[in-house]
Structure 1
Amino acid sequence: MESAAPNTERFYYGWVIVALAMMMHGLTTGGTNALYGVFALPLSEAFDLSRAAVLGATASVAMISSGLLSPFAGLWLSRYSPKKIILLGCLMLSGGYFAMTLVTTWWQMSIVYAVSWSMGNVLFGALAANTSVSNWFEAERGKALGIASIGMSFGSFSFPPIITWIIVNHGWRSAYAVLGCITLAAVPFILRWYRDRPDNADGTPQVRPPGGNHWKEILGSRDFWVIGLCISICFAGFNGVTINIIPMAVDRGFTPTSAAWLLSVAAAFGVVGKIVIGMSADKLGPRKALMIPLGLLVIACLLLRGNTPYWQMMVAAAFVGLSSGGAIPVWGALIGSYFGQQKFSQVMGMMNPLLVPLIVACAPFISWVKESTGSYNPALMAIIGFIAAAFALIPLLRPLKANN
């Protein structure tokens, strides 16, 4: 396994890994999650399917497959060279894009998303990127994870308009081909600049026993379940509110254009949350920092109750962005602090499936409540109730240090 120079150099090489992780976040979030809706209409027309059926064959299949694959991917990243795993994931994701240019039936499309797309996204996406950063940082882990995750925001900003333009002017198959080329272009950067775990993280010597299968130990840990439940509640809450905030604004009489600006505000403040709240995880300890994104989401839900004016919805969108941005580095900081770098990838991989049910259910639940009752308020209060449960769980996390 490769090693890096200790942190006695003027420039710590871990920040190069952060830059590469930012690239990985941007390519996977921008090229996959941000584009499900972009491809829904052209694929529905091409295969004579409803948009719901297309999203089921792509987004739902990809999410379920990724959740099933994540525990194994986490084990591989802890046991083998992360560089080789990441290169394999990059090639598989790129291959999935190119395979989409050849599909002629909906079931072929579904297989591509279930295999190449999902495996590539897991081995090259957030799990691999967060593991890479955590391997190189100890004292500044939250800050480093927050900066790396800015790539998610950049990818979500840049990919949809570019890919939409290509689809309109050259067709959806050309768009997939371009995505394949862009992803493949990351290979030389990984080959040249990526290094595996250092001998020193933040200048602290690391004692690394051989990688192994820690599934029983992890599943038997109360901290694993508490972190997983708290993070799933947080992720589901801001994901559900984000998806429904545009319909919510339109229902209250605002134009679609004005409503779209709410997402822009949320995305912009998400960048701030990634950095500021990520740094707070280093200063306050991740257990206390976990309360910040949860608390911000409560404020957002309270602001969205009732027939709120537009400026109030803008403020709420800012709080949603801060919460969603901050939760990502806090999650990584929690896993790193409670389970250590050696188990980081395996724990995050095993925790991913716990996030899927609530995240998948929250957005349609909010819509169903609105259709059933004529108001979003009951759904928003239900989210606050879940967050209250998360706050009640936090004291169950064992204290690690005085500042945790």
Structure 2
Amino acid sequence: MGTMVSETVAGKRPLFFYGWVVVAVGFVTLGIAFGIWYSFSVFFLAIIKNFGWSRAAASSIFSVFIISQALTGLLAGHLQDRFGPRVVIPVGTVILSICLALTSQAQSLWHFYMAYGVFAGAGVSLLAFSSHSAFIPKWFERKRGLALGIAMSGIGFGMLLLVPLVEKSITAYGWRATYLYLSGLVLFVAGPLNVIFSRRRPEDLNLRPNGDDPEEKDKISRRSMIVKVVDQNWANQDWTLKKAISTQRFWSLLMAFFFGSWVYQGVLLHAISAMVDCGLQRESAAYYFGILGIVGAGGKILFGYLSDVLGRERITVLAGIFVVAGIFCLMGMTAGTGLLPLFFAILFGLGYGAAAPVFPSVSADIFLGNSFGLIFAVICIGGGVGGSLGAFISGYLRDVSGSYSFSFYLYFISIFLSCLFICLAGPGKVRRMVLLKRMRSM
């Protein structure tokens, strides 16, 4: 006793809930955005070959990109709260398209810093992770993790489709022409989709979260999953950014994002390079990277759903174990290591896949409200700083030591700390999903 149950329960619903259209559009948009984002791991080697730069110098372009998208996330979150995806995401597609075209003409490092790092990073932020994480949770309560998992699985499909295609395009037409092709893709696909179909919240269509009918909320299946509010005082707070940053949970989430992104961005930028160092051909490495992407898509859906059912903390730790196992496989590769590249792609892909739905779900469980977009955007700055450092330092350590071994050990420490801080944030102590019949027995 002593706990409260959310008012959102399974009642009469329309045959089809429009929230899933929003999720589908997010799937496509995120696939394009992150396919472009992670294709830099292929451009990375082509740019080094073209200009003769060190890996640290080339990595710094990606680091600037990550910091820019994280800082712009503050604006993206605020704009999503105020205007919604029909305005914010198309603006982002125009900015990103122009900047990719400018990147195709870059002749020096500072050109890359400005065109790709600063401005393309800002454009991606308006249509990528923090932007979608600001409005999709408003459409769902019971299936929040699953909905985010499906939308974020577009990231994996984007990696699967775009990264190998980018590799082939660079080989056939060069990296400059390939950036022009990507510029057209983002402008003519992602922009129109969001103008036509995206909506900020269910109330804009006279709907409720999950598509529930409030007049029949008591007619519930005995097997329904419902949201149990464990800490009513916390959940009833009208969370603003000022209130949030005064809490231990906020800083725990920020540090969890910092250390998690250190690992994910470091590995995803340097995985192809590390496999090439081990003797794989660049085309083969890009192929395994594509497998990582599609497995990651499955991991996003699987772990997003399981985080709803089993709890965010448990799934975070389980995903961390997969990440560690995958990095061990990457460490053990040599020219003739057989299945290790495949094992790396599967294990790391599964573990990495959990981050996209679980991180915003954890944050929404704790701080959901009218200012959630802004609060989550500030939390994502931790991820931006961690990701930029992980990407740059991994390249620097490769330059000075001749291998990625030191970086791998830092990844192990970072993933442990990320899991620890999620557990310290304790989203399950604020809200968690339970079976209705279990609640009735309490």
TM-score range, shorter chain: 0.7 to 0.9
CA contact (8 A) 1:57 1:109 kept: no
Given that residues 242 and 320 in structure 1 are in contact (C-alpha distance below 8 angstroms), is that contact kept between their aligned partners in structure 2?
Answer: no
RMSD of equivalent CA atoms: 3.7
Decide whether aligned partners of structure 1 residues 371 and 219 sit closer, same or farther in structure 2, where only a CA change above 3 A counts.
Answer: same
Cα deviation, residue 262, structure 1: 4.2
Partner of 1:209: none
Partner of residue 24, structure 1:
29
- Post-superposition shift, 1:350? 0.8
Amino acid of the structure 1 residue aligned with 2:19:
G
**Residue among 285, 288, 312 paired with 1:286:** 312
- TM-score, reference length from structure 2: 0.75
Taking structure 1 as the reference length, the TM-score comes to 0.81
Pair 1:79-2:82 in alignment = yes
Stretch moving more, 389-398 or 192-201: 389-398
8 Å contact kept, 1:44–1:51: no
Q: 1:274 aligns with which of 286, 300, 307?
A: 300
For CA contacts below 8 A with separation 6 or more, give which structure has more relative contact order: 2
Deviation at 1:140, TM superposition (A): 0.9
Q: CA deviation at 1:274?
A: 0.9
Indicate the larger mover: 177-186 or 271-280: 177-186
* Alpha-carbon distance in 1 for matches of 2:410, 2:18: 45
Within 5 Å, which residues of 2 pair with 1:318-357?
318-357=346-385
8 Å contact kept, 2:38–2:163: no
Deviation at 1:246, TM superposition (A): 5.1
How far is 1:317 from its partner?
3.4
Please show how residues 4-403 of structure 1 align to structure 2 within 5 Å: 8-35=13-40, 37-38=42-43, 41=46, 45=50, 50=53, 55=58, 58-100=61-103, 107-108=110-111, 110-114=113-117, 116-166=119-169, 174-186=177-189, 187-199=191-203, 200-203=208-211, 214-245=240-271, 262-302=288-328, 310-312=338-340, 314-363=342-391, 365=393, 379-398=407-426, 399-401=429-431
**CA 1:357–1:253 in 2, change beyond 3 Å: closer, same or farther?**
same
**Structure 2: gaps (5+ residues):** 1-10, 215-237, 435-442
Q: Can you give the 5+ residue segments of structure 1 that lack an aligned partner in the other structure?
A: 1-5, 207-211
* Deviation string, structure 1 residues 256-310 (Cα, Å, up to 9, x no partner): 6665554344223212211110101111222332222122223334556667854
| Paired residue type of 2:98 | G
Distance 1:386 1:26, change over 3 A: closer
Distance in 1 separating the partners of 2:165 and 2:279: 30
Equivalent pairs counted in the alignment come to 392
Q: Name the aligned partner's letter for residue 118 of structure 1.
A: G
The 1:203–1:109 alpha-carbon spacing in structure 2 relative to 1, beyond 3 Å, is same
Call closer, same or farther: CA 1:285–1:314 in 2, change over 3 Å: same
